[in-house]
Amino acid sequence: MTDRLTILTYHRVLPAPDPLRPGDPDHSIFETQVRTLARFCNVLALDQAVTRMRAGNLPPRSVCITFDDGYADNAEQALPILKKYRIPAVFFVATGFLNGGRMFNDTVIEAVRVWPNTEMDLQDVGLGVQSVRDDDERRATIKALLAKIKYLDSSERDSVAATLASNCDGNLPSNLMMNTEQLRMLVDAGMEIGGHTVTHPILTNLDRRKAEEEIQTGRTELERLTGQEIPGFAYPNGRPGRDYGSEHVGIVRDAGFRYAVSTAVGRADRESDPWQLPRAVCWQRTPMRLLLHLLRMWRIRPEDRVDSMAAAL
């Protein structure tokens, strides 16, 4: 299992379980996962891992940890655990949401959470009437709304999100994303920072000029804020051929990024395109299941990769 790299994807680490975010680990589960990785795997910084993989000298059982988007709990919850076990990670940050921003998917989730009655009448924005009487219905409504909104043009998507927010009387949180101080906390702790555009658009919805602007402006802003080179990039949503295409791979490569990650599922190896590295979601809640999952990922062949991270943002 040398020269095989499993790159794990996270978005958030919650302080406590949240019934509306069942896919995100809480503090306790994340610590169990990190402790397991520290004990049984070689956890590397991703830039270093890609360099070693291409040179053919990765250590056995190589793993990298990545976080997408730039949530505040990355610094508040994940960072202390990573420091405790001396584990590196890379944080791909969409710069437009720093310092009080909120991503459209979080607007949907938080609006559903605090909606003032048991039905959401969204017929004016083409989203029908959704029931939110209990957590089961809320989860179903969140899934349905995100599926309908995700691939809208960015301006239309933001307009729908704003409509949802306006019905919640200002009760939606404005502290979900990192501020610049938290970003610098990650840097000071030795963590790697990666680009993730400015506004997290679906790149295939943009013309080339706008895609270049999103990719390069996000990187430039992160370099300004961190004082460091930004070596890697994560494609927003990340489905090859659906959320980004070969044109965007070329933009990322020509911009000088040394690697980029997608949300295609698989393990990477020396034959992998360094600007389209696959990743894996870490759903496993116990050490044994996590280790079994990693064994499967190390053994999976590149041609067996599947695109099953379609819900990632």
**Mean pLDDT of the region 163-169:** 87
Q: Are 89 and 232 in contact (CB under 8 A)?
A: no
pLDDT of residue 291: 80
Per-residue pLDDT for 303 more than 60? no
Nearest to 310, CA basis, from 202, 236, 238: 238
Mind listing the pLDDT tens digit for each residue in 247-271? 999 999 999 999 999 999 999 999 9
* pLDDT class of 309 with cuts at 50, 70, 90: very low
Q: Taking 60 as the threshold, does the pLDDT of residue 312 lie above it?
A: no
Q: Which phi and psi (to 5°) does residue 203 adopt?
A: -60, -30
One-letter amino acid of 58: L
- pLDDT value at position 2? 59
Q: With the C-alpha atoms ordered 210, 213, 216, 221, is the resulting torsion angle positive or negative?
A: negative
Q: What is the pLDDT of residues 29-53, one digit of tens each?
A: 999 999 999 998 999 999 999 999 9
pLDDT tier for residue 282 given thresholds of 50, 70 and 90? confident
142-161: burial string, b at 16+ Cβ within 10 Å, e else: beebeebbbebebeebeebb
Confidence of residue 288 (pLDDT cuts 50, 70, 90): confident
| Structure confidence at residue 124 (pLDDT) | 86
Give the pLDDT band (50/70/90) at residue 65.
very high
- Determine contact, residues 304/266, Cβ cutoff 8 Å: yes
pLDDT given at position 90: 98
Residue 280 CA to residue 301 CA, distance in Å, equals: 14
pLDDT at 310 over 80: no
pLDDT for 287 equals: 77
Q: Token pair for residue 20?
A: 């509306």
| More confident call, 257 vs 168 | 257
Under the banding of pLDDT at 50, 70 and 90, the label for residue 305 is very low
**pLDDT at 113 exceeding the cut of 70:** yes
Query: pLDDT over 90 for what percent of the chain?
Result: 78
Provide the mean pLDDT of the chain: 91
